[in-house]
Chain A
């Protein structure tokens, strides 16, 4: 584990400094949404559909309003809000939009869909009120699986989406690919299905909203990763000007993508607050979080890969089918998973021919939103199974097969029209294998009873998607840039805005480190301002590992601009050349003289007549940053050792090694934390978690008894080794670091389990891996 330290080579960047967030969080003095209590605040809960698919014949809230403690109850008809609709700029043959109503109107499409909001004096009364609602449903046949959605004569979840298909795009089809397959020495096939998962942030979703007359604003405090997007959608839904809506974000207990989409409940609660002219709080309870929140990761792959006799991959043909649930999420749409998989599946390998079809189907399940990694955990798992199966078919070592195929010369433009910037794919593979070898695992694997297995995952992940990269998705709203505004106060301390949104990633610390290096001030004199739509011109929030690459580059650029101002003023005051002025030790040195920042600020604010001509009063600057081209690729190799228990089918992870490269690490301890947390989530997907439904579409995992989130007892200690291939175009040389853990873990674990089953002739390609399947496989071979 990276040791805390103050400086690395005289710089703040690269050091694991004490976090700015920790004093308040560790003392229990943070402010999360549920900590907020406003005078006269009411509590909201939702009447939710008990049917997976039904027409709504009537919503009777008369008894609700009579429950003691209930102040109001509203249905869709009462609130009359505009729907939330996400769009892609693609033809109808490729994309069918689905309007998501804030409260369901004439149809419900998943168990848990919000139908009415009940507002009461406390959360207990709100639930009492919810129980008194009478909703009349005319049940329809539900669609509860991806194959069921596509079946001939299947009921339609949305009348406007034939065959329940929301997205059907073939991004690539190399000419002549069929001939390549026909002529190939070896063709392997992988069919794989991954389970539906819940990002499961520790803090559930929630909001406190109130209309403020003095500011003429609907003030919304919510744990969202995308405050500006919530503002826009909310203003449109309720019919207010954008400046009449202010969204602020307090401390957050995780998001992982579930909170980077606009939720219906936050809109409904804000609308109720507006209507009642009283503050309204909604905190999602755990049962709703497990059944009615946005879900992810349910995908089905049918993949073929052609190999030469010496193990070079010649072609890849993939069909990706994603179960996206009942609606497109905003702003990403149901395209988020299939388009990510289609665009990026070749990954770290040199693949000359590629064909892919990516589809999203709609089913009667809670809708899919991005979840850390987004499709990459799935397609990396499939590609790494391809490598393992090809190695077996070719009689080759699986690591050696990867060596023959990873990209080693950069920049590399792939068959998927993406240009990959330099990375350490081969180096991470070699170091990971060597580390496990040095620890003696390969010897143990050979010598031990036939239940030990070693598995690898070698992968890259695109981070820092700029506008160009997002534009390829053809989203109607194109994220990508960040704008940062920096201001120095009279005392020489600095505050910096960022449009990104730290929901646990330590930006208050890491971005301060970046600014501290540029301006020569201690990092704890730098305040990072985020999560306030009034104070931040515009932002995209945090997702897709964009914060340090893009947000960090924007704060760096703003710092440099401010630095230029400071040098110009100092040079003028001291009589020197601004070009020769240097920022140092909390001031500016010009020749042998030095002025502190407070002294310069004194002039800039209080003695403006002394400023140089052409330099305005005050000390502030604005800068933006965007990424032209294809972003920057982090990479890693994960190596996992598992031991299976033939008596029970149980799996124990004996060792987990992660060799990761995210370019320059701003704060190594933070990077390791990101890797460990992501790995835990990846292990969860491989071995434990699944959101399941019965044939009627009723959720089968409404509590932690059935939704098996792994505890600390199930997650091994992870050995993390770092490589550093700096990014050429971000200000700090950093690449994104947030998602790699989740991306590599399922593949490495699945491969390890299959390696442990190598004597049985049975291969398992679906996750979560059922223990019974392992038990049966080992039983047969005993």
Chain B
């Protein structure tokens, strides 16, 4: 399991990374923590001819509070968030892979990868976070609710780079919980809830995070359009949704 050959490029600024992406075109991929990309490259499922390393772009790091905005740099690792005392964001990090993965994987990477069960994608949609992207024509802000278009597909242009995520500050009372057979696995079903807004975001029930409202877990589960899959029936998945939404509200209530 060795990757196919590639050229390595190192960016030192966000603008420099954008320049490289524009110049190298479709055959280039950004690499930061590499926790999704490198595995895919080793399987030769991904074969970028160029890797643009952005880990030296220091402007992409840092967590700051700016009035009512909590700004998290794209290169912030899951582990850094876990230790930063950021309420539900920090608490949810215990679900992200295993500790070693969390020390390298980044928030920006998770959002850009757009796995529908990923904790950051669910949290972003839950709070309708803003995704700040920089491209050749400048900087723009996208809303999380418009960002995830399909499985592993986002509204990001190929020559754009996520620079930071913006969450509301303070964060409302919320919780995220999930189920998998093993600790650290990708979730079969994940549920994130925001208590006052009675807003629910589900992962594992569609190609993108699915939004629902209310506190009636059975009704929420019942309304989903689910299909039987090998090893996991629609009935079971619905049962997991019911369980996890209930438990997420319980956890958020305790917090």
Contacts and interface: CB of A to CB of B under 8 A. Distances in A.
- A and B: partners? yes
Interface of A: 123-124, 127-128, 131, 285-287, 647-650, 687-688, 700, 703, 705, 708, 710-711, 713-714, 770-772, 775-776, 779
Contacts of B231: 770, 772
B43 A287 contact: yes
A713 B183 contact: yes
Contacts of B5: 124, 128
Contacts of A124: 2-3, 5
Contact of A710 (B182, B186, B232, B240): B182
Interface string B173-205: 000000101111110000000000000000000
A703 B239 contact: no
Contacts of A771: 181, 236
Nearest to A771: B181
Nearest to B242: A647
Contacts of B145: none
Interface string B14-44: 0000000000000000000000000000011
B149 interface: no
Contacts of B181: 650, 687-688, 708, 771
Contacts of A775: 236, 239
Given A128-B5, A287-B1, A287-B43, A772 B236 contact: yes
Contacts of A286: 1
Contact of A647 (B2, B233, B235, B247): B247
B243 interface: yes
A779 B184 contact: no
Given A647-B243, A688-B182, 14 more contacts: A124-B2, A127-B4, A285-B1, A286-B1, A647-B239, A647-B244, A647-B246, A700-B230, A703-B43, A711-B182, A772-B231, A772-B233, A772-B236, A776-B236
Interface in B4-18: 4-5
A775 B244 CA distance: 14
Contacts of B186: 705
Among the interface residues B2, B230, B240, B247, which one has the most CB atoms of the partner chain A within 10 A?
A: B2
B183 A714 contact: yes
Contacts, number: 62
B182 A779 contact: no
A287 B235 CA distance: 32
Contacts of B233: 772
A62 B185 CA distance: 42
B240 to A, nearest CB: 6
A279 B152 CA distance: 44
Nearest to B233: A772
Among the interface residues B4, B43, B44, B231, which one has the most CB atoms of the partner chain A within 10 A?
A: B231
B218 to A, nearest CB: 12
B117 to A, nearest CB: 12
Contact of B184 (A287, A688, A713, A776): A713
Contacts of A700: 230
Among the interface residues B43, B98, B185, B243, which one has the most CB atoms of the partner chain A within 10 A?
A: B243
B245 to A, nearest CB: 11
Interface string B214-249: 000000000000000011110110011011101100
Nearest to B243: A647
13 contacts: A127-B1, A287-B43, A647-B239, A647-B247, A648-B243, A649-B236, A650-B179, A687-B181, A688-B181, A705-B186, A708-B182, A711-B183, A713-B183
A127 B41 CA distance: 13
B48 to A, nearest CB: 15
Among the interface residues A128, A285, A688, A772, which one has the most CB atoms of the partner chain B within 10 A?
A: A772
Nearest to A651: B181
B239 A779 contact: yes
Given A647-B243, A648-B179, A772-B232, A128 B4 contact: yes
A124 B43 CA distance: 12
Contacts of B183: 711, 713-714
Contacts of A127: 1-2, 4, 44
A148 B50 CA distance: 47
B73 to A, nearest CB: 29
